[in-house]
Structure 1
Amino acid sequence: MTSAPTSAPRNSTASSVQDAGHVDVLIVGAGVSGIGAAHHLQEHFPDRTFVLLDAQEARGGTWWTHRYPGVRSDSDLFTYGYRFKPWRGPSIAAGGEILEYLDEVIEEDGLEPHIRYRHRVTSASWSGEERRWTVEVTRTDTDERLRLTTDFLWMCQGYYNHEQPYQPRWEGMDRFRGTVVHPQDWPEDLDYTGKRVVVIGSGSTASTLIPAIAQKAAHVTMLQRSPSYYFAPPVTHELAVQLRALDIPEDWIHEIMRRQYMSQFNWLARASLETPEEVHTFLMDSLRPLLPEDFDIEKHLTPRYRPWQQRIAITPDGDFFAALREGKASIVTDTIEAFTETGIRVSSGEEIEADVVVTATGFNLSAFGDVAFTVDGEAVDFTDRITWRGVMISGVPNMAYMFGYFRHSWTLRVDLVADLVMRILERMQDRGDTVVVPTLRPEDADMEIRPWSDPENFNSGYVLRSQHVLFKQGDREPWTHMLEHEEEQELLPKADLDDGSLVYR
């Protein structure tokens, strides 16, 4: 059995690279994906050594880095929570509650000794001769450089750049006398009490942030170029209330509620594709009772795309619309012409006065944390590679990655992918193989190579902006991804690991 990595000597210098040992499996990321991967790995292979590396100061990924007011899940926690760990709180939870849930998993699984925080992975090099990865890491607190080796690399770092959010530049921003802030870089000392705030954007972040700051701000204006779809479910599902009143065990409630929410969102996915007009009508009708009188729902809340072609923003108990009804917030649907000294001028000629502008404009996708990959000395250009079931990459040995769902809860796919990776590792162990490489078969020679995301299926701005830096997919199994959960929960557990698309050595 291999030895666990040890900490680098404190007297190392930034120019030297310290040997940090070898592990059987190296997991990059200690957020929802990495913690879930570690649980499944430890459960199936208790004798294998592993570590989790994370560049942040603590666990949680997005729930650690996102600290803007009101930050919360936009998925129900019965499906965003793990299959193996019952969720005992309300259906929609604040960021702090989710961190507490992850802390419980870390404690119950004894994962803390395996996690290395402030460890940023900079490169990963595969040696076919040695049949292992060499991973170089920089300690963000000391600038020490470390080198680890591993037999299997599992990328669970998330899908966007935590350090560089998407921040458009508009004419006149430099002359604006107020404060401009992006939610991803929210200052702890930002005081918006009694101030006029403009939030640029119309997605989940904007609709979460606005009701949270509207109670203290003088007024909050959502400035959107085009509307998003919204849904206003209760914070706590009525069924969960009924089940708890019957004193049903929490693990039963967790499973019942997971199935309830999965059924609901599976229906929504099917109906949005097959009968989008009916879903549109359903969503619009559900919002009308929550809106102020004489509100222009056609102008401000009717998107240009079909339902679920982008993610539906969740506003629990309709708190966003309550802020509109109370006059604490309003919506302007227009395009920005320029910033002024005291606000923003839009194309209609109106000037929206502001003391604080929040650019809730989204994020930038990142391919595998922007880590530099090489295979036997050759740099890996992921834009030339093809996904294998949204789990591995063609021509890249002994590397899996974790990518959840956009429209369903992210974590539903974490459990499914972990199951599949465990099957692959078990298959290798049973047959004495040490290497597995996704490889195109002769029958795939005529396969159409398609973009990472089909705009007809999902066309959010952060996806379309990033197509050029991401890998591709094919026109047939197993070279496709971004399927719906209803399909994958049947497909992935039955995936044929000996159909020739995985080459073992």
Structure 2
Amino acid sequence: MAESDTSSTTTLTSSSTSTAFDVIIIGAGLAGINAAYRLQTQLPHLSYAILEARDNIGGTWDLFRYPGIRSDSDLFTFGFAWQPWNQPTPIGEGAAILNYLKQTAAQYGIDQRVHLRRRLQTASWSSAHQVWTLTVNDMSEDNGEKANISYTARFVILCTGYYDYHKPLETIIPGLERFQGQIVHPQFWPENLDYTDKQVVVIGSGATAITLIPKLAEKAARTTMLQRSPSYILSIPNNRSKRPSWLEQVLSPGKLHAWKRMSFLLWSRFIFLFCKAFPDAARRRLRRGIEELLPPHLPYDPHFNPRYNPWDQRVCLTPNGDFFNCLHDGRADVKTGTIKDVVADGILMTSNDSSSVKKDILLPADIIITATGLKLQLAGAATFDVDGVSVVPSEKFFWNGAMLQDVPNLSIVIGYTSISWTLGVDATAQLICRLLRIMERKRLSSATPRVEQGIALTPKRLFNISSTYVTVAESHLPKAGDQGPWRPRTNYISDYWFVKLGRVERGLQFVPGEGVKLKEKAS
């Protein structure tokens, strides 16, 4: 797929002025586009619309603009199963991914169902009328004062992602207010930030920092990654092959995509299971790979020796070892320790060298980048109620990783953390489509997840990683259970089997009625 300019603002509007739909999807990012495709191909007679709060589609890939932004999973599984990623590199750059999303939405007419600048504020379910009423903020530029619009839907699918678009994760950095240079969070990267020949300090050691460092090092005088504790980093090949492989010569494009997708899926699953089953062996293997790429002046311990086992948190990927490459030429460096104070022109830190001797050093800085994580948030901060009773997600169990306990006709679409996020997103979309088909066939107007009487569920973590941004937000997230349809999802293969052949009705309470389809379909 050829890349094109993605800087211009897309001005999408719905071809219909109706605000009543069978299904409303919230969010026009990757998950929303995927849900729309599954819906319009599997239930083409249903009307639907996508409400998008921003002025463009693309979600994360339109929001994030920091240098070097790219996927942290291969695009053969991170991309759509039904629209092959046909660039030769498995790790895609942000601009190419955004272009892929836009072209895909246009190709299938999904972009014509998008209502831009529509932010969901509240959603209320009426059991008497078996319908959702959505209060939506109209943020159109020509609207003058912001006004609310009322939408109605039989079913709502939340594809708003998992983090707050407006606030990053708050991290206490002593003395940061005294810094006289520029402070930047990658989530809100200034369009014209000039870091040429500047001293740049990136606070953090996760995927964002690992992505930023190589690009910043190309222009900055010196770029330093300041970390309290390191992450696991894995170098993977991401070259554009000059010659097609023998598989590319033999297989059709469709079969080649299926082969690549299955290969990456199985390989990533194997790596995850190996790391969890044999953490010591996995740690040794990762260490060998890192030590081969390190410059002589940077020892593995303490700079690349995490305190946790592999895949207790996500493993950071560095395509073609670009992170390690920039450490060799002296334009980038890594410091491990704790921040004592931020002063006007830098950061005073307590550093640990290879002999674990603590010493105070000053890192000069013109720009400080706080790559300290994202603030988790479901449903884009919208509020929900059922017959006037507020829904508190953290008090609810999560049915099959797709619906909230005691909340009718509402799906929250989230993906996996141990493998490609999109695999989980698609499993959820297909599960909801199957549920909608069952409801239509049996003339059921609503489905509500219920914990069966007499069953005592033991709460479990929704996400199976221990990253700081996840543990901080756990008290605000729905709960997984230890049995039945309430267990957390981690395995795409078993989830896919369940979507196709499992007992979807288990754990659901149905109300007979008109069915999901509106009495008069919106034009």
TM-score (norm 2): 0.90
Partner of 2:74: 76
Structure 1 residue matching 2:223: 3-state secondary structure? strand
1:293 maps to 2:296: yes
Letter in 2 for 1:182: H
Q: How high is the sequence identity, in percent, across the aligned residues?
A: 36
Partner of 1:471: 478
Q: In 1, are the aligned partners of 2:248 and 2:256 still within 8 Å (CA)?
A: no
Gaps of 5+ in 2: 1-13, 351-358, 513-523
Query: Whole-Å Cα distance in 1 between the matches of residues 166 and 507 of structure 2?
Result: 40
By how many angstroms is 1:131 displaced? 0.4
Determine which of 40, 43, 50 is the counterpart of 1:42. 40
1:366 maps to 2:364: no
By how many angstroms is 1:267 displaced? 0.6
Partner of 2:431: 420
By how many angstroms is 1:72 displaced? 0.5
Query: Whole-Å Cα distance in 2 between the matches of residues 240 and 118 of structure 1?
Result: 45
Query: Whole-Å Cα distance in 1 between the matches of residues 332 and 280 of structure 2?
Result: 29
Q: In 2, are the aligned partners of 1:451 and 1:473 still within 8 Å (CA)?
A: yes
Structure 1 residue matching 2:320: 3-state secondary structure? helix
Q: How does 1:26-37 map to 2 (within 5 A)?
A: 26-37=24-35
By how many angstroms is 1:393 displaced? 0.7
Q: In 2, are the aligned partners of 1:439 and 1:502 still within 8 Å (CA)?
A: yes
Q: In 2, are the aligned partners of 1:122 and 1:136 still within 8 Å (CA)?
A: yes
Query: Whole-Å Cα distance in 2 between the matches of residues 485 and 283 of structure 1?
Result: 25
CA deviations 1:234-262 (Å, max 9, x no partner) are: 11487995156526322222111111111
Gaps of 5+ in 1: 8-19
Query: Whole-Å Cα distance in 1 between the matches of residues 412 and 15 of structure 2?
Result: 22
1:262 maps to 2:265: yes
By how many angstroms is 1:497 displaced? 2.0
Structure 1 residue matching 2:216: 3-state secondary structure? helix
Structure 2 residue matching 1:134: 3-state secondary structure? strand
Determine which of 382, 386, 398 is the counterpart of 2:393. 382
What number of residue pairs does the alignment pair up?
A: 486
Per the alignment, do residues 356 and 301 of structure 1 end up closer, same or farther by CA in structure 2, a change over 3 Å counting?
A: same
Letter in 2 for 1:85: Q
By how many angstroms is 1:447 displaced? 2.0
By how many angstroms is 1:375 displaced? 0.2
By how many angstroms is 1:458 displaced? 1.3
CA RMSD of aligned residues (A): 1.8
By how many angstroms is 1:401 displaced? 1.6
Partner of 1:11: none
Q: In 2, are the aligned partners of 1:345 and 1:351 still within 8 Å (CA)?
A: yes
Letter in 2 for 1:450: K
**87-96 vs 414-423, greater mean Cα deviation:** 414-423
1:147 maps to 2:160: no
Letter in 1 for 2:460: R
Query: Whole-Å Cα distance in 1 between the matches of residues 260 and 309 of structure 2?
Result: 27
Determine which of 343, 361, 377 is the counterpart of 2:346. 343
By how many angstroms is 1:486 displaced? 4.1
Per the alignment, do residues 418 and 210 of structure 1 end up closer, same or farther by CA in structure 2, a change over 3 Å counting?
A: same
Q: How does 1:31-430 map to 2 (within 5 A)?
A: 31-89=29-87, 90-141=89-140, 142=143, 143-236=146-239, 241-243=244-246, 246=249, 248-347=251-350, 348-430=359-441
Per the alignment, do residues 395 and 120 of structure 1 end up closer, same or farther by CA in structure 2, a change over 3 Å counting?
A: same
**230-239 vs 165-174, greater mean Cα deviation:** 230-239
TM-score (norm 1): 0.93
Letter in 2 for 1:480: R
**99-108 vs 428-437, greater mean Cα deviation:** 99-108
Q: How does 1:453-492 map to 2 (within 5 A)?
A: 453=463, 457-492=464-499
Per the alignment, do residues 421 and 203 of structure 1 end up closer, same or farther by CA in structure 2, a change over 3 Å counting?
A: same
Structure 2 residue matching 1:246: 3-state secondary structure? helix
Q: In 2, are the aligned partners of 1:266 and 1:486 still within 8 Å (CA)?
A: no
Q: In 2, are the aligned partners of 1:5 and 1:148 still within 8 Å (CA)?
A: no
CA deviations 1:254-279 (Å, max 9, x no partner) are: 11111111111111111111111111
1:498 maps to 2:505: yes
Q: In 2, are the aligned partners of 1:343 and 1:355 still within 8 Å (CA)?
A: yes
Query: Whole-Å Cα distance in 2 between the matches of residues 319 and 450 of structure 1?
Result: 37
Q: In 1, are the aligned partners of 2:345 and 2:364 still within 8 Å (CA)?
A: yes
Partner of 1:17: none
